[in-house]
């Protein structure tokens, strides 16, 4: 059984970057943990985290609850930003 924290990390409503996390992990597995081979995946993950962190901080400042938009809301946000 997964820890509560591990479950949250797998929850698309809590963690907007599950796909990027999985892709990075798979790259590492596929490349015998050679980080140099996975730089592009790490950058994607990093920019995902930054983007949603900025969205979250903006929502906090504006008093929007919850701080992190749901998976459905995030999909609409991404579609609107192209």
From first to last of its 82 residues, the chain has per-residue pLDDT tens of 778 888 877 888 888 999 999 999 999 999 999 999 999 999 999 999 999 999 999 999 999 999 999 999 999 999 998 7
Q: Alpha-carbon torsion 31, 33, 38, 44, what sign? A: positive
Question: What whole-number distance in Å separates Cα of residue 59 and Cα of residue 25?
Answer: 30
User: Which secondary structure element, helix H or strand E, spans residue 40, and what is its range?
Assistant: helix 39-61
Per-residue confidence (pLDDT) for residue 7, from 0 to 100: 80
Global pTM?
0.83
The total domain count for the chain is: 1
């Amino acid at each position: 059984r997964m820890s509560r924290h591990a479950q949250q990390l797998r929850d698309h409503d809590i963690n907007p970057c599950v796909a990027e996390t999985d892709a990075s992990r798979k790259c590492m597995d596929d490349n015998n943990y050679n980080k140099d081979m996975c730089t592009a995946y790490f950058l994607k993950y990093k920019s995902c985290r930054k983007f949603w962190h900025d969205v979250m901080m903006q929502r906090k400042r504006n008093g929007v609850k919850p701080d992190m938009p749901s998976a459905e809301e995030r999909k609409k946000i991404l579609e609107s930003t192209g």
